[in-house]
Every structure is written in structure tokens, then in C-alpha cells.
Structure 1
Amino acid sequence: MVVPNLCAASFAVLRQIEPIIMLEQLGNTLFDTALRMVAKDRCANATYPGLSREDSQQKAMTDFFMNYNLIIRLAPILPSLLLGRLSDRGWRRAPIVVPLIGYLLSRLVLLLVVIFSLPLTFMFGAAVLYGLSGGFSAFWSGVMTLVSLRTTATHRSKVMMRVELLYGLAGLVGSLVSGHLFQLYSSSLGNGTILLIVSTLLHLLCLIVSVVLLQVKEVCQEEPDENYHLLTSSSSSSSSSSSPSSNSPVAEAPARINLVNLVLLFTAAFLYDFAVGGAIEILGSFVLKSPLSWSATQVGYGNAAGCVIFLTSFIGVIVFRRCVSEFTMILIGMLSFASGIYVMIFVKTTSVFYIARLLNLFALIPMPTIRSLLSQQVPASSCGITLTSLQLTLKFAGLVYIPAYTKIYQRTLEWLPGFVFLLSSIITVLGMIPISIAGCRTAQKQRCERIQGD
């Protein structure tokens, strides 16, 4: 009797979105380490007039990743919009299954590049395949849409942060083993082959699970669709007593939604993603140069330190949501990132690097909290396209910060390589301004509603 019950429980778990998230991130972290180290090896002999050998290698690497990342952010724009529309028309699994096909194909291309010693430029073709499948913007929007549909507005930010936690834990495991797997090789295939084979198999398994087992589940929401509005939902997450009932007099029609707060949220998301994405874009190359000069194993450990932030941010959400509003939680997360990335300017040793990452312990709170607020703003029939629009906003941020940060880093290599981290810290502080304004507007409206109710 115990065995059948255990099998039924395991099958039920496999039908949820969480196993797919973890398998995808596990394979993704292995791929990221492999791509970083393969690019380093292929750029080792690069030479540029007026630059030392190490600076030439850094320039060649950053140029490659600039072009590669621009492609994977530009190519998915139209496909992700199409997949978001299909999701809202009932094809909820499409934004998950189709991008996973692109993930699998791009991993196969890098495996072929390593095995057959193909030029690194083949990865630009892999980036196009990845982008035309919708990429991460379509995949993550599809994931968050399924999470939104199966949860009530009151607990949505916590559940979304729990998904981020599982994503981070999978990344932590993958990062810890990726460097060691990269060192394993056969005499005929070379470094990274086993690592990429494991990554490809994980993505294949992830695709099979999403096609065969994934279940789309929608729960009955606490509020009717037309009651999804930003202001009351932000307070309901902090106190169960403020959650409106089905016959509550504060029910509000969609036409009365405060669009100013929506614009402020999108602006804050853009600025924060600009700051975080730009810093992380350069950080991968920064740790490979002196004085750090990390090996593949150290790169994996460094990525693992970043994944630990998923855990600390989840704990932060659980603790902070009991005593502060969601707007305040966003500010705490932004302040955490700004302080940590500022310390990164002065990193000369690995120990100081980990101190800087320690200060980032709440840096992942802002984005899932903003997604939660936006998902509560719209009815379920528009949730997919709304979250896709947010992802596309972040894509446009990437189209700006990738070349900007790359060129700034290349021009400051000789006198202050960490200047880009100072820039990220400043932009993060600027991103706190629209969140603060939105929070003040929300608090003011809530006071007016209480006065009118009395």
C-alpha cells in the first residue's frame, strides 16, 4: 500500500512545473560554465594593438559575449510575443515547451563545437536558434503564468519567490559540480565534453517531462478578475485582514486601474535589470583576469555563491512580508544589490569577492515581487501577455546595457576595471526612486479609502 501511494505522489510532483524549472536550471548552469571556459580557451591567443595579452583576451571574450547576448535578447522578441498570445488563448504549455526545444538545440551546437573544434562563431547560430524558440523571456513568462494561475493573489509573491528558490538551488548544485565536470575529458574529445553531454541530456529530459507530464492547473481566485488591481493587492500580501472579499465595496473596474503606478513599476524593473544585468555581464569575464584568474572549478564556486542568493532572498521574503509592504521589500532588495556591487569595485582577492556577494543576499527579492504585483493587476486571461511584456521590457534593457557595459569595461580595463560596478550601484539607487514614489502613492490612496470607509 505504501509503494503505490509513493508512486502516485511522485507522479503528482512530476506533473508540476517545479521539476521542469530545476532540470532546466541544472542543465543551464552546466552550459554556462562550459561556454565561459570554451570562450576563454578560444580567445587565449587574441592580439590587439596597444593591449597586453591578457587585456586582448578580455577584449576578445567580452566582444564575443556582447554579440552572443545581443542575439539571444533580440531574436526572441517576436516569438515570445506570439507564445504569450498562444498562452492566453489556452495553449499554456507552449511558452514552456517551445523554448526548451531551443535550449536543447543550442546545447547541441556547443557540444559539436567542442568535439569537432569548430569556430566559436558557430555559437552565434546557436543563439539564433535559441532566440527563435522564444528564449528565456518566453520560458520564464510561461512558468510565472502557470504559477499565477494556480495561486491566490494573497500568497502569490511568496509562491513566486519559492519558485525562484528552487531555480536557485538547482543552479547551486549545477554550479558546484560544473567546474569538476569540465575537468573530466577523454583524450580524443577534450575538456568540457562530458559536462556538455550531461547538460544536453538534462535538457532533453526536461523537454520530455514538459511534453508528456506537465499539468496546467488553475485555482479559483479569491477575487473576481475585475478586482485585480495593484493597490489593494499590495496591502493584502502584508495582512490577511486587508484582503477584499467577493462582496467587498472596494471592488474596482479595470478602467480605474492606476496606470501611473504601473509605469513606475515597469520603470523600476527596467533600471534594476539594467544595473544587475550589466554587472553580471562583465563579472564573468572580470573573475578570469588577474588578480583573480579563476579556474573552471572556481568559476563554478563563484556561480554557486550567486545561486545562494536565491535561498537568502526567499528567506527574506518570508520574513519581511510579515512586517513590511511589498514596495519596502523591493527597496530592501535593491539596497542589498547596490551595496554588494559597490564593494565589488575593490575586489582584489577571492575572499573579498565572496564578501561582496554576501552583501547581495536579498538582491533577488525585487523582480519576483514586481512580477507578483503585475500579475495581480490583470485578469487571468491577460496574465501571460502582461508578464511577457515585462520580460520584453527587460530584453530591451539588455539591448542597451550589453554593448554599453562591454565598451565601458574595455575602456576602463587599464585604470579601473571595476568602474562598471560603480555604474551599476548608481543606477540601482536611481531605480529605487520610482518604487518609492509608487509606495507613497499606494499608502496615500489606502489612507483615503480608509477615511471614506469610516
Structure 2
Amino acid sequence: MLLKGSQHRGLNLQMRAHNSSLVDSIGTTHQEVQEKASLFLMQLDLTGAVPSILVAIVLVADGDRHGRKKSLVLPSVGAFISNAFLGAFSYFSLSLSIFFAVVFFGSLFGSMATFLGGAFAFIADLCNEEKQKTIRIAVVDLIFGLVSGLAGLTSGYFIRGLGFPWTFVVASLLHFINIFYITFWLEDTVRVPEFQQHALVSCTEGLKETFSGVYMLFKTSTYKKRTLIIVLLFTFMMYFFTLIGGSSLFTLYELDEPLCWNELYIGYGAAAFTSVSLTSFLGIYFFSHCLRDIYIVFIGIFSYIGGMVMAAFAKTTLLMFLMRVPSLLCFMPIPVLRSMMSKVVLTSEQGAMFACIACLEVMTAAISLTVFNSLYAATVAWFPGFSFLLSAGLCIIPLGILCWLMCTRWHEEDLASLVYEEQSSEESIES
């Protein structure tokens, strides 16, 4: 998601430069340029969203039975091919319509949703203790956040020094190294029995088995477990919706009056927001030793609310930078909620669980960007900070759900007991 944010930020900066040089000669207004660019980006996002959701459901959930490496290798292969095509596109100055074909083709390999879903399931398999799971999932989010922010900050220097074609060649090379490492060096966490590897399965049975992972997760679960999974998924979706939607508007808000930031300040602001990944990880690391997961989520949501309320009324550069201070822990709920959902399910259901999470992330991000960008365009004339206040207000929904969970006393001990009961029932059936 942060990679997409850096892409939107770079395009907005290009529109600003383009607008300042051509507005007098051509008559194109800043709002018209933003409108067309936003529409183009939205169409690109939607082009790749639907196929990547379907592929993520299949590959990540199928990893519970046939190994995790497919959900890591295939998205890397798709990214490698896509970057190679984009390099050729830049070198030969081909039509913009090819962008849609490249994005659609890359999404058929699963895109980032499949890769992250498989990575989180892989990490969950390696955790022997429940506390390890929260911290290690937070480490993955930390690495993803820092590297995405670094990529957004350095991409301009790469493009200026190498040009677009060679920048995509470098990206393709990095993806190739990733593919080589996953294929030949990374050991899979799911052991596929030898007889299962060589067993002949009909095409119909193979397809049924491939698509049944997520369905069986909900069908075979007890009522309490199924309800808890749905409630946690909805909580995750609502907070992710507000987080992505609110944070995606920072660049537009900073470029507009009265802040009128230039490229240098935009870069500093992006770096400050990226550093929140590090502070959120440190918060999870320390809080996990003394607080339950649900309390850590509470702290993170209140941190986000404080930052958004401050941003809504920030009219000076100093205040806009200072709004990052109350937001220092706003990323904590995302990995912690992932960990909470992972603790509800069995080891053999981790892939199906993270497939659901990955699909929700893609779907929620696409809807959130569309809703909040449209809302900002409609309210920017009379109150630019309205979208930030709305984003903070929507946090009442996940907070209310978490309060309900606390009132019903579904804490970590109850999650562990649900898994223990299912494991015991499975062992008794097998014996």
C-alpha cells in the first residue's frame, strides 16, 4: 500500500510541475490535471484488483496443503515480467493503454496481495509461541513499510540518473534475484507427503481442492470461532479503510493552500510518515510484553485519531510536521489484528486465513482510495480538512467492535482455547 502511495505522490508532483509551466500557454488548470491523473490511477488499480483477489484466494489458501513457495514465487515472476514490459514501454514510448494490459497480466500472477499473504502465512508457520507471532508479523510490516518508503524517496534519483527504462531494468533484476532465492534457497514450511506429490488427481477434484480452502475454513469452524473470525476481519477492514483513505490525501493537502509545499518538503513529509513504521514496531515490541493484543490495537487507533484531528486543522508547515507525533503508533493495529486472526485458526488453516486478509486489503484499499479522493475533491473548496475528520470519526466503528469483544471476554486465552479444542477433536478423530 505504501508503494502505491509513493506512486500517487510522484504523479501529483509531476502534475504540479506540469501545471506551473503550461497553465498560461495551454490553459489547463491544476484541478483538471489532478482529476485526469486520479481517474487514470483509479482505473489502473481496478484493472489489477479483481484478478489479484481471485488468484490470492487460490494460491495463499492452497499453500496449506501444497506449500507456501508458490504464493511467493509466482507474484515475483509476474512483477519481473511486468517491469521488463514497462522498461520496453518507456524505451519505445508506447501507448498508455499498454499500462492496463501490463497491470492486468501482472495481477494474474497474484500481485502484492498473494506475496504478502503467503509471506505472513510462512511467518506464522515458523512461530512456536503466540507472542512470537505478533512480533514477527510486525517485523514483516516494518520491513515492508521502510523499504516502500525508501523506494518512494529514492525513485526520483534513479529516474533522474538512469532514466525510466534502466530503472525498470534494475527493478527486474532485483525481482530475478528474489525468484532465485525463493526457488533454490528458501525451505518450505509445509511438508507435502511423498505419496501426495505423486498421486494422480482428476481435474475436477484438483480444482475443487484448490478453491475449497477459504470455504472449508468457515464451514468446518464452530459458531464461536466463525463469528470471531468475521468480527476480526470486519474490524481489520474498517481500520484499514480509514488508514489508507486518510493517509492517501496528505500529498494533495500539502500541495494546496495554505501550505503550498514544494518537492523537498513533500519528501521530508513522506520520510516522516514512513518512520511511523519503525515507531509502531517498537510500540508493538514493548507493549506485547505487558499488554494484551486488544489493548495494543486500542492504543494504535487512538494514535491515528489524534494525528488526523491535528492534520485537519494544520495550516502551517510546523503543525503539519508535528501531526506525525501523535500518529507515531498508528500502524500498530494492522499487524496485531493479523496476529489475532492467525491465533484463532489451526496451523493447517493459516493460508486460508491470510488469503482472506490479503483479499480484504486489496478490495478495501481500492474502495478507500476512490471514496476519499472523491470526498476530498467535493469538500476541498469549503474545508480541506473534512476528509481527515471523517477518517478519524470512522474509527469509532472498530473501537466499538473491540469494546464489544472485551465485554464478551474474548481475550487471547479464549483464542488459544478455541484452537486447543479443535486440535484435540482432530486428534481424537484421527486416533
Q: Cα gap change, 1:366/1:287 in structure 2, threshold over 3 Å: closer, same or farther?
A: same
Residues 62 and 352, structure 2, Cα contact 8 Å, conserved in 1: no
Aligned identity (percent) is: 22
* 2:137 matched residue in structure 1: 160
Q: Is 1:63 aligned to residue 30 of structure 2? A: no
The one of 213, 226, 238 aligned to 1:271: 238
CA distance in 2, matches of 1:284, 1:267: 28
* 2:377 matched residue in structure 1: 410
* 1:225 matched residue in structure 2: none
Q: Is 1:362 aligned to residue 338 of structure 2? A: no
* 1:129 matched residue in structure 2: 105
Q: Is 1:181 aligned to residue 158 of structure 2? A: yes
Specify the SS of the correspondent of 1:184.
Answer: helix
Residues 334 and 429, structure 1, Cα contact 8 Å, conserved in 2: no
* 2:78 matched residue in structure 1: 102
- The Cα offsets for residues 394-420 of structure 1, whole Å up to 9 and x where unpaired, read as 333234323222221222232223322
- The Cα offsets for residues 88-125 of structure 1, whole Å up to 9 and x where unpaired, read as 22231111111112223333344344433344443222
CA distance in 1, matches of 2:19, 2:70: 38
Instruction: Note the residue ranges of structure 2 that are not aligned, 5 or more in a row.
Output: 192-219, 418-431
Q: Is 1:259 aligned to residue 235 of structure 2? A: no
Q: Is 1:396 aligned to residue 396 of structure 2? A: no
Q: Cα gap change, 1:41/1:202 in structure 2, threshold over 3 Å: closer, same or farther?
A: farther
Q: Cα gap change, 1:115/1:162 in structure 2, threshold over 3 Å: closer, same or farther?
A: same
Q: Is 1:334 aligned to residue 306 of structure 2? A: no
* 2:61 matched residue in structure 1: 85
CA distance in 1, matches of 2:354, 2:124: 10
Alignment: residue pair count: 384
| 1:220-239 equivalences in 2 (<5 Å) | none
CA distance in 1, matches of 2:111, 2:21: 32
Residues 35 and 110, structure 1, Cα contact 8 Å, conserved in 2: no
CA distance in 2, matches of 1:303, 1:119: 31
The one of 384, 400, 403 aligned to 2:351: 384
Q: Cα gap change, 1:359/1:444 in structure 2, threshold over 3 Å: closer, same or farther?
A: closer
Deviation at 1:213, TM superposition (A): 1.9
| 1:185-196 equivalences in 2 (<5 Å) | 192-193=164-165, 195-196=167-168
* 2:421 matched residue in structure 1: none
Residues 316 and 362, structure 1, Cα contact 8 Å, conserved in 2: yes
* 1:424 matched residue in structure 2: 391
Which moved further from structure 2: 129-138 or 276-285?
276-285
Which moved further from structure 2: 145-154 or 287-296?
287-296
Deviation at 1:206, TM superposition (A): 2.1
Q: Is 1:316 aligned to residue 293 of structure 2? A: no
The one of 250, 257, 260 aligned to 1:283: 250
Residues 177 and 300, structure 1, Cα contact 8 Å, conserved in 2: no
Residues 158 and 167, structure 2, Cα contact 8 Å, conserved in 1: yes
Residues 29 and 178, structure 1, Cα contact 8 Å, conserved in 2: no
Give the letter for the 1:94 counterpart: K
Residues 66 and 406, structure 1, Cα contact 8 Å, conserved in 2: no
Give the letter for the 1:74 counterpart: V
Q: Cα gap change, 1:178/1:307 in structure 2, threshold over 3 Å: closer, same or farther?
A: same
TM-score normalised by structure 1 residue count:
0.74
The one of 320, 344, 357 aligned to 1:353: 320
Residues 95 and 138, structure 1, Cα contact 8 Å, conserved in 2: yes
CA distance in 2, matches of 1:205, 1:30: 23
CA distance in 1, matches of 2:146, 2:116: 16
Specify the SS of the correspondent of 2:409.
Answer: helix
Q: For the aligned residues, what is the CA RMSD? A: 3.4
TM-score normalised by structure 2 residue count:
0.78
Instruction: Note the residue ranges of structure 1 that are not aligned, 5 or more in a row.
Output: 1-23, 220-252
Deviation at 1:275, TM superposition (A): 0.5
Q: Is 1:198 aligned to residue 174 of structure 2? A: no
Residues 265 and 438, structure 1, Cα contact 8 Å, conserved in 2: no
Specify the SS of the correspondent of 2:62.
Answer: helix
Q: Cα gap change, 1:432/1:66 in structure 2, threshold over 3 Å: closer, same or farther?
A: same
CA distance in 2, matches of 1:34, 1:167: 19
Deviation at 1:336, TM superposition (A): 0.9
Specify the SS of the correspondent of 1:358.
Answer: coil
CA distance in 2, matches of 1:308, 1:124: 32
Specify the SS of the correspondent of 2:323.
Answer: helix
Deviation at 1:193, TM superposition (A): 4.9
Q: Is 1:371 aligned to residue 332 of structure 2? A: no
CA distance in 1, matches of 2:78, 2:266: 25
CA distance in 1, matches of 2:385, 2:370: 16
Specify the SS of the correspondent of 2:275.
Answer: helix
